[in-house]
Amino acid sequence: MSAARKLLIFGGLALAAFGMLYGLHYALFVEHQTLDRMGGSLTTAFVDAAERNLPATQLAIDEYTDTKYNYVRQVDAHSHWIGLAMVMIILGVVLERLTFREGTRVAIALALSIGSFSFPSAVILQTLTHRSSLSSGVAVVGSALVIIAMVAAAVGFARQRILA
């Protein structure tokens, strides 16, 4: 079994387990509390408005949008880690069908592995460093690596079809 294939299959399994562990931790210790906070702050915004306390209303809306900003990204990171892990494992299994030299296959495997880990990690980083250019930059580079790897894989499969 080639190094590229090992990297994709082992890396994919490890990433899937990591994504699931993150999801389990999130479901046990974070999600319910976050949803309660989100619902609570939106309710507070409306209750404050009913009491005509508009500055408090705005503060509650700010808290709601901040909590939702984090919630969306935390859930997205969980689903993207597992989804990309599955793409890695599948590509690992069909890697021999890519009509490229071993060096190119290793490059594709590396790009997909780095991108699959770093892109959701950067999404989590966004919750810690709100809208920082570092987290956005890593997310852009990570997703670009994943897209480039998949486009290269598509070309590899298409070449196989032509050669066949």
Partner 1 sequence: MSARRVLIFGGIALIAGGMLFGDIFAVFLLHQNGGRTGEALLAASRAVTARDSAAVRQDFARIGGLLEDHGTKLDAHAHMIAAGYLALLLALLQPYVALSCRSRKILAQLFVAVGLLLPLGIFLIHYVGLAYSPFSVIGWASVLADFAGALLIAVLIAEAWGLWRYFRGLRPDVGEPALPPDNSWESRTLLAGGTLLIVIGFLYGAWYAAFDLYEHEAREKNILSAMLNASTGSGGDAAQFVGDYGRLQAEKAVDVAAHSHIIEFGLLAILLTFVQRFVFLNSRWKRFWVRLLLAGSIILPLFVLLEMHLGLIAGGIADLGGLMVLIALLGMLAGILRYTGALDAQEENAR
Residues 6+ apart with CB under 8 A from 71: 34, 35, 38
H or E stretch at 81: helix 54-94
Give the separation between CA 62 and CA 2, rounded to whole angstroms: 52
Least CB distance to partner 1 at residue 103 (A): 21
Q: CB nearer to partner 1: give 97 or 102.
A: 97
- The reply to whether 68 sits near partner 1 by the rule CB under 8 A is yes
Residues 6+ apart with CB under 8 A from 121: 77, 138, 142
Q: Which two tokens stand for residue 64?
A: 């709601």
Q: Which of 8, 45, 77, 138 binds partner 1 (CB under 8 A)?
A: 45
Site string for partner 1, 140-159 (x = CB under 8 A): ---xx-xx--xx-xx--xx-
Give the separation between CA 1 and CA 11, rounded to whole angstroms: 14
List of residues contacting partner 1 (CB under 8 A): 1, 6, 9-10, 13-14, 16-17, 20-21, 23-24, 27-28, 32-33, 36, 39, 42-43, 45-47, 49-52, 54, 57-58, 61-62, 64-65, 68-69, 79, 82-83, 86-87, 89-90, 93-94, 96-97, 139, 143-144, 146-147, 150-151, 153-154, 157-158, 160-161, 164
